[in-house]
Amino acid sequence: MEYDVVIVGGGPAGLSAAIRLKQRAQEAGVELGVCVLEKGSEVGAHILSGAVMDPRALTELIPDWKEKGAPLDVEVSEDRFLFLTEAGSK
C-alpha cells in the first residue's frame, strides 16, 4: 500500500498530527493518504487508556467531539496531590 504520509506512533501527538493533516487536506480539496503505525493492539492503546486529560486540545482539533459520541464521559471533580515519604504520604 502507498501513503502520502506515514506517522509512527498512535499517541496524542501522532493522532493529532494525522487528524490535522486530513483536515487541512480536506479544506484544500486534496486527497491525502495518511497511515498511523502503532505497536499496540489498537491506536492509542498504550497512552490513552484510562488517561486523565484536559479536553482543550481535542476541542481545538474536533470542535464537535461530544456530539460525535467520543467515549469521554466522566469529568474530573477534584484534584488531590500526595507527597510520598518514608513514613507514608502527606
Q: Where are the domains of the chain?
A: 5-89
User: Quick one: pLDDT at residue 51?
Assistant: 65
User: Quick one: pLDDT at residue 48?
Assistant: 56
User: Quick one: pLDDT at residue 88?
Assistant: 85
Residue with cell 479544506: 27
User: Quick one: pLDDT at residue 46?
Assistant: 66
Question: Cβ contacts of residue 19 below 8 Å, gap of 6+?
Answer: 61, 62
User: Quick one: pLDDT at residue 8?
Assistant: 92
Helix count and strand count (H, E) for the chain: 2, 4
User: Quick one: pLDDT at residue 74?
Assistant: 78
Residue 42 identity (one-letter amino acid): E
| Measured distance CA(60)–CA(53) in Å, rounded | 14
User: Quick one: pLDDT at residue 20?
Assistant: 95
Residues of the chain with pLDDT under 50: none
Question: Cβ contacts of residue 39 below 8 Å, gap of 6+?
Answer: 46
> pTM value?
0.68
Which grid coordinates belong to 62? Answer: 474536533
